[in-house]
Amino acid sequence: MTKWVYTFGNGAAEGRALDHEMLGGKGANLAEMCSLGLPVPPGLTITADACSAYYRDGRRIADEVRAQVLSGIASIEAVTGRRFGAGNSPLLLSVRSGARVSMPGMMDTVLNLGLNDETVQALGHDAGDARFAWDSYRRFIQMYADVVMGLDNEVFEEILEDEKARHGYEYDTEMTASEWQHVVHLYKAVLEEELGEEFPQDPQVQLWGAVGAVFSSWMSARAVTYRHLHNIPESWGTAINIQAMVFGNLGNSSATGVAFTRNPSTGEKSLYGEFLVNAQGEDVVAGIRTPQSITEEARISSGSDRPSMEKLMPEAFKEFVAICDRLEAHYLDMQDIEFTIERGTLWMLQTRSGKRSTRAAMKIAVDMVDEKMITEEQAVLRIEPSSLDQLLHPTIDPRVAREVIGTGLPASPGAASGEIVFTAEEAVMAEEEGRKVILLRVETSPEDIHGMHAAEGILTTRGGMTSHAAVVARGMGIPCVVGAGTMRIDLRNERLIGMGVTLKKGDIITIDGSAGQVLKGEVPMVQPALSGDFGRIMEWADRVRRMTVRTNADTPADARAARSFGAEGIGLCRTEHMFFEGERIHVMREMILAEDEAGRRTALDRLLPMQREDFESLFNVMHGLPVTIRLLDPPLHEFLPKTDEEIADVAAAMNMDATALRQRVDALHEFNPMLGHRGCRLAISYPEIVEMQARAIFEAAVQAARETGAAVVPEIMVPLVGLRSELDYVKERIDAIARDVMTEADMRIDYLVGTMIELPRAALRAHIIAEAAEFFSFGTNDLTQTTFGISRDDASAFIPTYQRKGIIEHDPFISLDFDGVGELIRIATERGRRTRADMKLGICGEHGGDPASIHFCEGIGLDYVSCSPFRVPIARLAAAQAAIKAR
Q: Is residue 862 part of the contact set for ligand PEP (CB under 6 A)? A: no
Closest-CA residue to 870 (of 846, 843, 853): 846
| CB-neighbour burial class of residue 519 (10 A; exposed 0-12, middle 13-18, buried 19+) | buried
Q: Pick from 29, 358, 611, 781 the residue near ligand PEP by CB under 6 A.
A: 781
Q: Tell me the C-alpha to C-alpha distance, in Å, between residue 532 and each of 256, 367, 373, 539, 566.
A: 37, 12, 19, 11, 15
Binding residues vs Mg ion (CB under 5 A): 758, 779, 782
Closest-CA residue to 783 (of 756, 819, 803, 810): 756
DSSP code, position 859? H
Q: Is residue 554 part of the contact set for ligand PEP (CB under 6 A)? A: no
Q: Tell me the C-alpha to C-alpha distance, in Å, between residue 775 and each of 732, 757, 836, 868.
A: 16, 10, 9, 20
| Nearer to ligand PEP among residue 108 and residue 782 (C-beta) | 782
The answer to the question of whether 575 is labelled as a binding residue is: no
* Residue ranges in 110-129 that form contacts with ligand PEP under rule CB under 6 A: none
In the complex, the smallest distance separating the C-beta of residue 679 from Mg ion, rounded to whole angstroms, is 7
- Cα–Cα distance between 600 and 22 in angstroms, integer? 70
In the complex, the smallest distance separating the C-beta of residue 769 from Mg ion, rounded to whole angstroms, is 16
Q: Pick from 53, 591, 844, 877 the residue near ligand PEP by CB under 6 A.
A: 844
Residue with nearest beta carbon to Mg ion: 782
Q: How far, rounded to the nearest angstrom, does the alpha carbon of residue 390 sit from its chain's CA centroid? A: 10
Residue 572 interaction partner, one of ligand PEP, Mg ion, none, beta carbon < 5-8 Å per kind: ligand PEP
In the complex, the smallest distance separating the C-beta of residue 719 from Mg ion, rounded to whole angstroms, is 6
* Residue ranges in 729-768 that form contacts with ligand PEP under rule CB under 6 A: 758
Given the rule CB under 6 A, which of 83-91, 507-515, 603-611, 778-786 is the region that contacts ligand PEP? 778-786
Bridge partner residues of 755 (DSSP): 718, 776
DSSP code, position 176? -
Q: Is residue 389 part of the contact set for ligand PEP (CB under 6 A)? A: no
Q: Is residue 782 part of the contact set for ligand PEP (CB under 6 A)? A: yes
Q: Pick from 550, 574, 589, 836 the residue near ligand PEP by CB under 6 A.
A: 574
Closest-CA residue to 360 (of 399, 334, 331, 392): 334
The answer to the question of whether 441 is labelled as a binding residue is: no
In the complex, the smallest distance separating the C-beta of residue 697 from Mg ion, rounded to whole angstroms, is 19
At residue 213, the 3 state secondary structure works out as helix
Q: Is residue 572 part of the contact set for ligand PEP (CB under 6 A)? A: yes
Angle value at C-alpha 883, between 877 and 887, nearest 5 degrees: 150
Given the rule CB under 6 A, which of 128-136, 418-426, 601-609, 779-787 is the region that contacts ligand PEP? 779-787
* Residue ranges in 633-672 that form contacts with ligand PEP under rule CB under 6 A: 633
- Catalytic residue numbers? 468, 844
In the complex, the smallest distance separating the C-beta of residue 847 from ligand PEP, rounded to whole angstroms, is 8
The answer to the question of whether 486 is labelled as a binding residue is: no
Here's the x/- map for ligand PEP, 587-626, by CB under 6 A: it reads as ----------------------------------------
Residue 635 interaction partner, one of ligand PEP, Mg ion, none, beta carbon < 5-8 Å per kind: none
Q: Is residue 680 part of the contact set for ligand PEP (CB under 6 A)? A: no
The answer to the question of whether 249 is labelled as a binding residue is: no
Residue 355's identity, in one-letter code, is K
Neighbour-count burial for 600-611, b at 16+ CB within 10 Å, e otherwise? bbebbebbbebb
Bridge partner residues of 715 (DSSP): 628, 752
Q: Is residue 868 part of the contact set for ligand PEP (CB under 6 A)? A: no
| Nearer to Mg ion among residue 342 and residue 758 (C-beta) | 758
Q: How many other C-beta atoms can be found within 10 angstroms of the C-beta atom of residue 789?
A: 7
- Cα–Cα distance between 411 and 482 in angstroms, integer? 6
Q: Tell me the C-alpha to C-alpha distance, in Å, between residue 48 and each of 8, 17, 34, 57, 688.
A: 17, 15, 20, 14, 67
What are the E-state strand segments in 107-220?
109-113
Give the binding-site size for ligand PEP (rule: CB under 6 A). 11
Q: Which residues 6+ apart lie within 8 Å of 224 measured at CB? A: 234
At residue 111, the 3 state secondary structure works out as strand
Here's the x/- map for ligand PEP, 452-481, by CB under 6 A: it reads as -------------------x----------
Q: Is residue 779 part of the contact set for ligand PEP (CB under 6 A)? A: yes
Q: Pick from 41, 845, 849, 873 the residue near ligand PEP by CB under 6 A.
A: 845
Q: How far, rounded to the nearest angstrom, does the alpha carbon of residue 494 sit from its chain's CA centroid? A: 33
Neighbour-count burial for 660-696, b at 16+ CB within 10 Å, e otherwise? ebeebbeebeeeebbbebbbbbbbeebbbbbbbbbbb
The answer to the question of whether 370 is labelled as a binding residue is: no
Bridge partner residues of 13 (DSSP): 8
Given the rule CB under 6 A, which of 177-185, 642-650, 774-782, 821-829 is the region that contacts ligand PEP? 774-782
Here's the x/- map for ligand PEP, 489-528, by CB under 6 A: it reads as ----------------------------------------
Q: Which residues 6+ apart lie within 8 Å of 76 measured at CB? A: 7, 9, 42, 43, 44, 84, 91, 93, 242, 243, 244
The answer to the question of whether 779 is labelled as a binding residue is: yes
Closest-CA residue to 133 (of 242, 243, 245): 245
In the complex, the smallest distance separating the C-beta of residue 245 from ligand PEP, rounded to whole angstroms, is 59
Q: Is residue 780 part of the contact set for ligand PEP (CB under 6 A)? A: yes
In the complex, the smallest distance separating the C-beta of residue 680 from Mg ion, rounded to whole angstroms, is 11
Binding residues for Mg(2+): 758, 782
Give the residues lining the site for ligand PEP (CB under 6 A): 471, 572, 574, 633, 758, 779-782, 844-845
- Annotated binding residues for substrate, written as ranges, equal 574, 630, 758, 779-782
Annotated binding site: 574, 630, 758, 779-782
